[in-house]
């Protein structure tokens, strides 16, 4: 049977998983924080206890070996599976996971991007990846996440910021540290069966631009990083740490989405700016990147 949309499969599975008690959506209150260089950031304040997988203390079991079959959306080829995020803020939040063990902090491989391409070919959304704990990853098992979006929706509040970065119109931006630690490129015209190869090339080029190295030079990248990916563009940010002023920041922070727990210093955020918060978790020690061709 041909799949028309992985998003619809995810929503259907979400309803079943809710009825089975396998899905636990997070209850949040939404507000907006003014931004210096983009649309306002979306701030979600958590109204319940932080899920165990996000707590820092103590060892955690691997939730993907095996994964809960009640959360499975469908297999993607032989090596990957698409499952639901057990604790979503948005229903339909999916995780593309490796069926066997692969470390989140190792280099992503062509078969990971091939699997992304299969899903991306018929589902519109915002992909994001956190390369390890210092980039906001809560699990060491390899997973790439997808937030579905409709064709008419903006992919994220800071999409314009990344488009300006692609167009190199942010050189004089007040958030120069963010510009220096990020890179973004347009995706060329999408061609079926070639997306994985194309995304792999973009990934390796951006890693080189941010002085992360390459798979040929070592097992792991030189620093943690985040990736954001839409049908139109791809971005990478080099990271230094995951927490600033009580906010744990992953790739979604750079997309314009922040989650506030009890430890988050909301007054500091409103007094300074979300960009200032982001600038405190990027890597300022990196050597100057190569000029973009």
Res. 293: pLDDT tops 50: no
Q: pLDDT tens for residues 182-224?
A: 999 999 766 666 789 999 999 999 999 999 999 988 779 999 9
**Hey, which bits of 90-207 come out as E strands?**
94-98, 125-130, 143-148, 182-186
CATH number for the segment(s) 6-48+67-279:
3.30.428.70
Q: What is the pTM of this model?
A: 0.93
* The pLDDT of residue 288: 47
Q: pLDDT tens for residues 129-141?
A: 999 999 999 999 9
**Hey, which bits of 88-232 come out as E strands?**
94-98, 125-130, 143-148, 182-186, 225-229
The confidence band for 180, taking pLDDT boundaries of 50, 70 and 90, is confident
* The pLDDT of residue 120: 92
Task: Convert 104-143 to b/e letters by CB count within 10 Å (16 or more is b).
Answer: bbebbbebbbbbbbbbbeebbbbbbbbbbbbbbbbbbbbb
The confidence band for 51, taking pLDDT boundaries of 50, 70 and 90, is low
- Higher pLDDT pick, 58 / 103: 103
């Amino acid at each position: 049977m041909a799949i028309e949309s992985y998003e619809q499969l995810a929503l259907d599975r979400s309803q079943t998983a809710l009825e089975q008690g396998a899905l636990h959506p997070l209850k949040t209150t939404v507000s907006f924080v003014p931004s210096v260089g983009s649309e306002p950031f979306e701030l979600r304040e958590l109204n319940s206890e932080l899920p165990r997988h996000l707590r820092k203390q103590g060892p955690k079991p691997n939730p993907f070996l095996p994964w809960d079959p009640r959360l499975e959306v469908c297999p993607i080829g032989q090596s990957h599976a698409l499952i639901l995020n057990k604790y979503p803020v948005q229903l339909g939040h999916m995780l593309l996971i490796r069926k066997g063990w692969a470390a989140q902090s190792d280099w992503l491989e062509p078969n990971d991007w091939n699997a992304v391409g299969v899903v991306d070919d018929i589902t519109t959304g915002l992909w994001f990846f956190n390369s390890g704990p210092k980039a906001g990853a809560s699990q060491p098992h390899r997973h790439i996440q997808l937030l579905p979006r409709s064709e008419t929706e903006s992919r994220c509040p800071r999409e314009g910021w990344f488009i300006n970065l692609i167009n190199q119109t942010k050189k004089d931006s007040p958030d120069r540290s963010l510009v220096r630690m990020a890179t973004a490129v347009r995706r060329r015209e999408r061609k079926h069966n070639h997306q994985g190869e194309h995304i792999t090339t973009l990934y390796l080029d951006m890693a080189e631009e941010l002085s992360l190295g390459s798979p040929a030079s070592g097992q792991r990248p030189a620093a943690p990083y985040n990736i954001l990916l839409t049908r139109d563009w791809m971005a990478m940010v080099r990271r230094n740490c995951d927490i600033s002023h009580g906010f744990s920041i992953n790739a979604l922070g750079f997309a314009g989405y922040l989650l506030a727990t009890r430890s988050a210093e909301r007054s500091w955020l409103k007094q300074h700016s979300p960009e200032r918060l982001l600038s405190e978790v990027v890597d300022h020690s990196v050597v100057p990147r190569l000029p973009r061709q």
